[in-house]
């Protein structure tokens, strides 16, 4: 028999499963705000990033439908060829106004936005300073760029200060890159301190606002705005796929930065533009997010209550500050069992395991949405505390 060139996968994946790390895709059926059907049962969905409950909002759906009828579903080409429609143009303008920056450009996803931006800004001979808990796409961007990657302990500003001092004069350009809100811990980066370091060491500062946009800060303008340093963060990356309920990534900044990215960011140049209906849906969601601040307020009130009750009951929710509430468990198998128990009680809460989070820190990741009812949260608390 011929050798099987993919045979090595069997042994590797057996070892992976052995450690409780195997994953699989599980399809869901009907999805309404805050709920999702699984195997014929409607579950309360605490596993999404649809923070404002806009992904299935009828107004968002209607905007997508209208645009699909006028422009088709697919963009048909990359943005610089013929894929850039007036839906993309007006979304960019809306986002620039919302972000209070000169310009915005769009990417196929938040992942692509970070990858494309970092590789357009740094290369060999440069350095990227990254928080240990940064999202994978920031790390991958630095690696792909061929820049020296310096990882500092989570939110440890004084350690970063030390590293930057040691590196002084060694690199052509420096970029500090951080999540504004950490995706698996829900805590905020110390952005005012990072902005100070960026100034002192003449480094560029990139903040990934994937979980900040629409949720944190005045008018939901993000974690940098919440820390009062929005104008000092010269590269703000965001996604349309979380609070804005659509798909796609964006970068907000000066016209100079955006023009550079349009010319140099490869995932923007060599990938098909977002479907115009996705852009129109995001514009509509952005308008709703601004017109209905109760969504954001409700989200923060619910998550404060959840955190308080869980902490009182002895759970470790870390330094979470918004709608992402982690419940630290530790061993992957135990985390999976707890998730299974919650699911049997009607609550969908994902078990997050390594390598998504560091070894020994497997957790439940509760994601709240403005679409959740108070009873949903009470029910989850009862299920977790065993009452
Ligand atoms: C989800 C996420 C991304 C990726 O955004 P997509 O639009 O889903 O590709 C990037 N950064 C962080 C911190 C995220 O949580």
Is 376 close to ligand 1, i.e. is its CB under 6 Å away?
no
Paired residues of 127 in beta bridges: 148, 174
Q: What is the Cα–Cα distance from 24 to 153, expressed in whole angstroms?
A: 31
Residue whose structure tokens are 């450690």: 19
Mutation probe of ligand 1 site: the residue of 112, 186, 241, 365 with most atoms within 8 A of C-beta: 241
Pocket flag, ligand 1, residue 245 (CB < 6 Å): no
pLDDT number for residue 387: 65
Number of helices (H) and strands (E) in the chain: give both, helices first: 14, 14
183 assigned to active site: yes
- The token duo for 263 is 């010319």
Residue-level pLDDT at 91: 98
Structure tokens belonging to residue 11? 């042994």
- Let me know the angle formed at the C-alpha of 182 by 177 and 186, rounded to the nearest 5 degrees: 160
- Both structure tokens of 276: 């115009």
Find the helix packing angle between 276-291 and 58-71, rounded to 10°: 150
Decide: 194 and 206 in contact? Cβ < 8 Å.
Answer: no
Helix ranges (DSSP H) in the chain: 8-18, 58-71, 86-99, 110-121, 136-145, 157-167, 191-200, 223-226, 255-264, 266-269, 276-291, 294-312, 332-344, 374-385
Distance 304 CA to ligand 1 centre (A): 24
Q: What is the number of the ligand 1 atom nearest to the C-alpha of 248?
A: 7
Q: DSSP state, 106?
A: E
Atom of ligand 1 nearest to the CA of 114: 10
Nearest alpha carbon to residue 101 among 213, 229, 253: 253
Q: Is 61 exposed, middle or buried (0-12, 13-18, 19+ CB in 10 A)?
A: middle
Tokens 């060999």 sit on residue: 124
Q: Is 51 in the pocket of ligand 1 (CB under 6 A)?
A: no
The active-site residue, picked from 174, 211, 303, 369, is 211
Q: Does the beta carbon of 208 lie inside 6 Å of ligand 1?
A: yes
The pLDDT, as a whole number, for residue 22 is 84
Q: How would you write the pLDDT of the chain (387 residues) with one tens digit per residue? A: 678 999 999 999 999 898 878 888 989 999 889 999 999 999 999 999 999 999 999 999 999 999 999 999 999 999 999 999 999 999 999 999 999 999 999 999 999 999 999 999 999 999 999 999 999 999 999 999 999 999 999 999 999 999 999 999 999 999 999 999 999 999 999 999 999 999 999 999 999 999 999 999 999 999 999 999 999 999 999 999 999 999 999 999 999 999 999 999 999 999 999 999 999 999 999 999 999 999 999 999 999 999 999 999 999 999 999 999 999 999 999 999 999 999 999 999 999 999 899 999 999 999 999 999 999 999 999 999 986
- Atom 7 of ligand 1: nearest residue by CA position: 110
Question: Which residue ranges form the domains of the chain, and what is each CATH number?
Answer: 28-46+293-385 (3.90.1150.10), 58-291 (3.40.640.10)
Active-site residue flag, 211: yes
Is 154 marked active-site? no
Residue 179 Cβ contacting ligand 1 at under 6 Å: yes
Please give the number of the atom of ligand 1 that sits closest to the Cα of 179.
Answer: 13
- Name the closest-CA residue to atom 14, ligand 1: 210
Catalytic entry in 48, 85, 109, 183: 183
Q: Is 236 in the pocket of ligand 1 (CB under 6 A)?
A: no
Measured on CA atoms in the order 98, 52, 314, 183, is the torsion positive or negative?
negative
Which pLDDT does position 1 carry in this prediction?
63
Q: Give residue 240's Cα distance to chain centre.
A: 9
The predicted model scores a pTM of 0.96
pLDDT of residue 242: 98
C-beta 365 within 6 A of ligand 1: no
């Amino acid at each position: 028999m011929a050798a099987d060139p993919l045979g090595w996968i069997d042994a590797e994946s057996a070892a992976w499963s052995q450690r409780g790390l195997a994953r699989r895709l599980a399809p869901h059926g009907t999805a309404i705000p805050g709920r999702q059907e699984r195997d014929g049962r409607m579950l309360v969905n605490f596993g999404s990033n649809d923070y404002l409950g806009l992904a299935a909002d009828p107004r968002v759906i209607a905007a997508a439908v209208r645009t699909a009828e006028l422009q088709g579903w697919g963009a048909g080409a990359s943005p610089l060829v013929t894929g850039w429609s007036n839906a993309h143009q007006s979304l960019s303008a809306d986002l620039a106004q919302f972000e209070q920056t000169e310009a915005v450009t769009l990417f196929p996803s938040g992942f692509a936005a970070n990858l494309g931006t970092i590789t357009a800004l740094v290369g060999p001979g440069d350095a990227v300073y990254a928080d240990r808990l940064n999202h994978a796409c920031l790390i991958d961007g630095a690696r792909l760029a061929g820049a020296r990657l310096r990882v500092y302990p989570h939110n440890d500003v004084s350690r970063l200060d030390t590293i930057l001092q040691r590196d002084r004069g060694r690199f052509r350009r420096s970029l500090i890159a951080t999540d504004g809100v950490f995706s698996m811990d829900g805590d905020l980066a110390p952005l005012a301190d990072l902005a100070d370091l960026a100034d002192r060491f003449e480094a560029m500062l990139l903040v990934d606002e994937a979980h900040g946009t629409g949720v944190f800060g005045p008018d939901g303008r993000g974690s940098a705005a919440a820390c009062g340093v929005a104008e000092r963060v010269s590269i703000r990356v965001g996604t349309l796929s979380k609070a804005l309920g659509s798909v796609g990534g964006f970068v907000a900044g000066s016209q100079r930065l955006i023009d550079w990215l349009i010319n140099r960011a490869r995932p923007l140049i060599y990938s098909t533009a977002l479907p115009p209906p996705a852009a129109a849906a995001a514009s509509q969601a952005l308008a709703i997010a601004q017109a209905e601040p109760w969504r954001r307020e409700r989200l923060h009130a619910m998550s404060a209550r959840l955190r308080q009750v869980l902490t009182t009951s002895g759970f470790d929710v870390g330094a979470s500050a918004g709608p992402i509430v982690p419940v630290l468990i530790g061993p992957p198998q135990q985390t999976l069992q707890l998730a299974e128990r919650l699911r049997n009680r009607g609550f969908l809460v994902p078990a997050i395991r390594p390598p998504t989070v560091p070894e020994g820190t497997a957790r439940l990741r509760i994601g709240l949405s403005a679409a959740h009812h108070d009873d949903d949260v009470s029910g989850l608390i009862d299920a977790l505390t065993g009452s």
